[in-house]
Structure 1
Amino acid sequence: METNSFFVLATGLFLYLLFTGVKSIGVCYGNDGDNLPAPNEVVGLYQSNNIRAMRVYYPDKGTLQALGGTNIAVIVDVGNSNLAYLASGEDAAKSWVNEYIVPFPNVAIRYIAVGNEVIPGNDAGFVLTAMQNIQNALNAANLQNKIKVSTSVSTGVLGVSYPPSAGAFTDDARNYLQPIAAFLSRTGAPLLANVYPYFSYVGNPGQISIEYALFMSPGTVVNDGQLQYQNLFDAIVDAVYSALEKVGASGVSIVVSESGWPSDGGDAAAPQNAQTYVQNLIGHAGKGTPKRPGNIEVYIFAMFDEDKKQPQGIENHFGLFYPNKQPKYNINFN
């Protein structure tokens, strides 16, 4: 009896770890491009490639309908253009939640991202109030235990990033992020962070090796106290963790809401480098970072190239798939 119970428990634990480990990798679904597949085809492409999570940049009802019953975990952005409206009052947020969230009970919405890379900036002052209003609307709909409210930031919020233990927000960003971090601490929500070693590398190739950026360094590159860093991704994520600690939010976790490597359009932008980065990132996500070992949730940018994105250039070339649903390069999500 004890042996059987142990076997059942161990099997359940294995399946739990397998399930949560697979769900740690998602892909961002932007649709600012020509000839992209219909939402139901996109969702089918996620399923056929065993991609268990998706980020959408606005609450498209067709996409949400297609996601129903799939158990694909979802980050839903409110859209930056809606921040002022959602901050205007609780009725506005309640109306938004009742239109875009409540009608989709069979969609596994995990997070609502209130603003993408708006801190610091002209709309940054709307973010916390909009988050609070959305949270109150979720509470009213009894969804507070299912969906967490956060915001997505770029690593431009860091004034200091090296070494990772010295990570700190800029003064401007800290003015907004300190109260936001307190909100996240109270609600148990993570901070969403867009992490791109690519841009760090091309901005400073004399100091950063491409091997360090692509998870290919054969050994330790950065020693930071007792912590050792073999890749740039970990160093950036831990710098954000250090910045959170400095504003009193050491208990807030980080979800990497975007990360990727372009296949064209700029220095070191090539399919081979993109494939190397993405595949290595998938393999690395289950290990966490030196500061926070364990599984880390990562959303790869992006499912498709988006040729309508402005300004034209590097951001048009992050896609994993062509519009005809053929892979740009081979990636194994298993």
Structure 2
Amino acid sequence: MGSGVALFTLSLLLVTHHAHSAIGVNWGTMSFHKLKPSTVVDLLKANKITKVKLFDSNPDALRALMGTGIQVMISIPNELLSTFSSDLFVQQNLSRFMGKGGADIRYVAVGNEPFLTSYGGAYQNYVFPAMVNLQQSLVKANLASYVKLVVPCNADAYESNVPSQGTFRPELTQIMTQLVSFLSSIGSPFVVNIYPFLSLYQNSDFPQDFAFFEGSSHPVLDGPNVYYNAFDGNFDTLVSALAKIGYGQMPIVIGEIGWPTDGAVGANLTAARVFNQGLINHLLSNKGTPLRPGSPPEDVYLFGLLDEGAKSTLPGNFERHWGIFSFDGQAKYRLNLGLGNRGLKNAENVQYLPSRWCVAHPAKDMTLVTDHLRLACSQADCTTLNDGGSCSQLGEKDNISYAFNSYYQLQMQNEKSCDFDGLGMVTFLDPSVGECRFLVGVTDKSSSAELMARWGIYHICIGLVVWALTRCYIL
């Protein structure tokens, strides 16, 4: 998505009649409520996920993955491409975690969408030198035959009105030719991120049904080929661009693709399920695309595994809602990944904070609440309250309660964080309304911390009882 955040990518092995194709899921870690790495790894194993990609080289994640047999892709964030030491990187992030019983690291991603148009070329000149240095370091460490380098690119790296005329952007032609030649020489695939949702979101004239896999009343005609979905058209545009620089048979991996469930019109549970299931079924059919019939991408990584409430909303509020699981590892919708399970398995043994919420005090005047709302939503995630969000239809007081609670959970239910100059109060009754879920945070604290939390609950309960008796107000 063009961000330098820590992201994981998971991959599920899908067996077809002709080839092994893998469905992947990006696991992002930009969350206010992070699950333990061990909990996430258990989630991967429960769903038979066999590959994971980390957009940095988080040591806690790598330790949790050791001995699991899950294949790993680690990455170097864009902002480090110009400064990192390749020898030191290999030593600290590969060699020390690999070996018998270690992490099965297969790929290193050199940046993430470093040629994105919005970056204005800021990272463009650092990618190739970084790759050359890394390859030399892998050779010295005797890892070059096992660990491969890749560069995840955004689909804006190429352009065309029809797939057969696809070319790389003029300013990228030289560096792409150099890059692809190098990737080919070391046996690495071309990795690209494709987002039909963004095409629909950014263009009001984009045919909605063309974004999905159910067939379209607005197909794209390209000579003898007909395209009924945006994915195939985008993929073949890249195939054409690669062919024009002499690498028409280059293996292609889809690094990111998915559909958000909230934060924008068209971002909802139904659309996400239909898109992702349609994509999986399309891949399982082994149909391929018009320019690569019978040859689907080697791997396709769904974006993403978990919602990330701390991501930047600059592209849109939907950025925090791409997960097929909510932040706490609970499946949002039914999805058959083609692995024998008819649906997703939820994370187990998640350590939640106590079941309590912060809401707007029902007996208080909210006239002066504006500054408190601004504070709460500047730090916590309130994106579901905006137009198109699952909580956008709440009444005024429920809106306030949602913002208060988001901040309260972010502050790990600190008692003072629900004060808001007396406008907030703690409740033990779940204030969720319909599809609008008022979250309870998660924690990775020890059992002693849990005892302290329970002791805090006891005091809150006593306080509520006294308050109710003295004020004669029924909660």
Q: Which has the higher helix share?
A: 1
**Relative to structure 1, is the Cα distance of residues 253 and 300 closer, same or farther in structure 2, using a 3 angstrom cutoff?**
same
**Structure 1 consecutive aligned stretches of length 4 or more whose deviation exceeds 4 Å:** 15-20
Partners of 2:323 and 2:16 in 1: how far apart?
29
Aligned to 2:153: 153
Report the alpha carbon displacement of residue 161 of structure 1 after superposing the two structures with TM: 2.9
Report the alpha carbon displacement of residue 18 of structure 1 after superposing the two structures with TM: 7.9
Partners of 1:156 and 1:299 in 2: how far apart?
18
Aligned to 2:97: 104
1:329 to 321, 333, 338: 333
Report the alpha carbon displacement of residue 16 of structure 1 after superposing the two structures with TM: 7.2
**Relative to structure 1, is the Cα distance of residues 212 and 303 closer, same or farther in structure 2, using a 3 angstrom cutoff?**
same
Partners of 1:169 and 1:305 in 2: how far apart?
32
Question: Any idea what the Cα deviations from partners look like across 1:125-169, whole Å, max 9, x if unmatched?
Answer: 0000101111111111222221211111111112x2331111111
Report the alpha carbon displacement of residue 191 of structure 1 after superposing the two structures with TM: 1.2
Say which structure, 1 or 2, has more relative contact order (CA 8 Å, 6+ apart): 1
Instruction: Report SS of the residue matched to 2:172.
Output: helix
Partners of 2:296 and 2:215 in 1: how far apart?
21
Aligned to 1:226: 224
Partners of 1:200 and 1:218 in 2: how far apart?
15
Partners of 1:175 and 1:291 in 2: how far apart?
24
Aligned to 1:40: 38
1:304-319 map, 5 Å: 304-311=306-313, 313-319=317-323
1:246-261 map, 5 Å: 246-261=244-259
Partners of 2:304 and 2:19 in 1: how far apart?
21
Identity value in percent: 33
**Relative to structure 1, is the Cα distance of residues 236 and 27 closer, same or farther in structure 2, using a 3 angstrom cutoff?**
same
Higher mean alpha-carbon deviation, 210-219 vs 39-48, is at: 210-219
Partners of 2:200 and 2:15 in 1: how far apart?
36
Please tell me whether residue 200 in structure 1 is matched to residue 211 in structure 2: no
Please tell me whether residue 117 in structure 1 is matched to residue 118 in structure 2: no
Check the 8 A contact 1:112/1:148 in 2, yes or no: yes
Report the alpha carbon displacement of residue 220 of structure 1 after superposing the two structures with TM: 8.5
**Amino acid in structure 2 at the alignment position of 1:272:** T
Name the Cα RMSD after superposition: 2.1
Instruction: Report SS of the residue matched to 1:43.
Output: helix
Aligned to 2:177: 178
Instruction: Report SS of the residue matched to 1:215.
Output: coil
1:1-334 map, 5 Å: 21=20, 24-86=22-84, 92-105=85-98, 106-119=102-115, 121-158=121-158, 160-206=159-205, 208-217=206-215, 221-286=219-284, 287=286, 288-292=288-292, 293-296=294-297, 297-311=299-313, 313-333=317-337, 334=339
Q: Which has the larger radius of gyration?
A: 2
Give structure 2 stretches of 5+ with no counterpart: 1-13, 340-475
Partners of 1:16 and 1:274 in 2: how far apart?
24
**Relative to structure 1, is the Cα distance of residues 219 and 50 closer, same or farther in structure 2, using a 3 angstrom cutoff?**
farther
Partners of 2:17 and 2:78 in 1: how far apart?
35
Partners of 1:53 and 1:42 in 2: how far apart?
13
Partners of 1:251 and 1:218 in 2: how far apart?
28
Partners of 2:19 and 2:325 in 1: how far apart?
25
**Amino acid in structure 1 at the alignment position of 2:173:** R
Partners of 2:65 and 2:37 in 1: how far apart?
9
**Relative to structure 1, is the Cα distance of residues 162 and 191 closer, same or farther in structure 2, using a 3 angstrom cutoff?**
same
Give structure 1 stretches of 5+ with no counterpart: 1-14, 87-91
**Amino acid in structure 2 at the alignment position of 1:24:** A
**Relative to structure 1, is the Cα distance of residues 254 and 123 closer, same or farther in structure 2, using a 3 angstrom cutoff?**
same
Report the alpha carbon displacement of residue 17 of structure 1 after superposing the two structures with TM: 5.3
Q: TM-score, normalised by structure 2?
A: 0.62
Question: Any idea what the Cα deviations from partners look like across 1:44-101, whole Å, max 9, x if unmatched?
Answer: 1111112222221110011111112222222211111210024xxxxx1011011101
**Amino acid in structure 2 at the alignment position of 1:74:** V
Check the 8 A contact 2:168/2:241 in 1, yes or no: yes
Partners of 1:36 and 1:165 in 2: how far apart?
44
Instruction: Report SS of the residue matched to 1:52.
Output: strand
Check the 8 A contact 1:83/1:123 in 2, yes or no: yes
**Amino acid in structure 2 at the alignment position of 1:132:** V
Q: In the comparison of the two structures, how many residue pairs are matched? A: 312
Question: Any idea what the Cα deviations from partners look like across 1:242-262, whole Å, max 9, x if unmatched?
Answer: 111112222321110000111
**Relative to structure 1, is the Cα distance of residues 16 and 261 closer, same or farther in structure 2, using a 3 angstrom cutoff?**
closer
Instruction: Report SS of the residue matched to 1:234.
Output: helix
Partners of 1:51 and 1:138 in 2: how far apart?
27
